[in-house]
Amino acid sequence: MTEAVQTRVDGAVIEVTLDRPRANAIDAETSRELGRVFADFRDDPDLRVAILTGAGDRFFSAGWDLRAAAEGEEFEADYGEGGFGGFTELPERNKPVICAVNGLAVGGGFEITLAAELVVAAGHAEFFLPETGLGLIPDAGAVRLPRVLPPVVANEVLYAGRRMDAAEAMRWGLVNAVAQADELMDVARDLAGRIVSAAPLAVGAAMAVARLTGHLPLQEAFGTMRSGGLEAYEQMLASEDSDEGPRAFTEKREPAWKGR
């Protein structure tokens, strides 16, 4: 583990902190390290949820490290198996990531939050994409943002670098909750705890279904889910946990999930 990427495990939750003063910018080496952390998270049966945050209270992440770029790092560098930021393109990840946005989410930092399943933000956080002013485009932002924002809003963010504060981001559905800065991680941990209390195979199946059918027409999506070929969904249906949940409900007790 490098000083730039710090981890803390609390039960089934891993907290990942990006710590690269002054702006928590990400170069290719840091991205590959994040990718290794998130791949280990994906593959560890004891871990259920990851929380990603930035060190300090000013920047969540400034995105791509422009100093590294000035020193010759290519825009299309090798960012590792998980893509830029470690998890944004990580294959077969059926475990959720929560971004706890502690400050400015700029460029690639904003794009990372768009790839997370859940986002909580400090009240002073801001989100924006400055790439067109640098002669580039935000690749992931150009793909993801128009899918979650009204076209004219997405266009202003993409073309003109419009900034969104945490409250506006929440209104548009980009953020689950806005918290006081000193309560941000508590809010993220509470959210993670609620996910951990759910059945692990059910959470994984829900993620897999959403990922593999989200682009399909409704009837085709249902057909794909029920085709027998979606492994995570079939594993959930055949699991002991799918029997345990209804049994625990009728017996008025907390379920004892086994993950099988």
Q: What is the pLDDT of residue 64?
A: 85
DSSP-assigned letter for residue 259: -
Partners of 126 in the β-ladder: 104, 165
pLDDT, residue 70, reads 64
Average pLDDT, the chain: 93
Q: Examine the residue annotation and report whether 111 is marked as an active-site residue of this protein.
A: yes
Where are the domains positioned within the chain? Answer: 5-196, 200-250
Confidence at residue 245, expressed as pLDDT on a 0 to 100 scale: 92
Residues 196, 12: contact at Cβ < 8 Å? yes
Q: Give yes or no for a cis peptide into 22 (omega within 30° of 0).
A: yes
Q: What percent of the chain has pLDDT over 90?
A: 83
Which amino acid type is present at position 141? G
CATH class, domain 5-196, is alpha beta
pLDDT tens-digit readout, 93-136: 999 999 999 999 999 999 999 999 999 999 999 999 999 998 88
For residue 242, give the amino acid letter. Answer: S
pLDDT single digits (tens) 171-211: 999 999 999 999 999 999 999 999 999 999 999 999 999 99
- Of all residues in the chain, the percent with pLDDT exceeding 70 is 96
Average pLDDT of the segment spanning 65-94? 81
Helix or strand (DSSP H, E) at 90: none
**Residues constituting the chain:** 260
pTM of the model: 0.93
H-helix segments, the chain: 28-43, 66-70, 108-115, 139-148, 151-160, 166-171, 184-196, 200-213, 218-225, 231-237, 241-250
The whole-number pLDDT of residue 153 equals 96
Among 111, 117, 220, 234, the one annotated catalytic = 111
**Is residue 67 over pLDDT 90?**
no
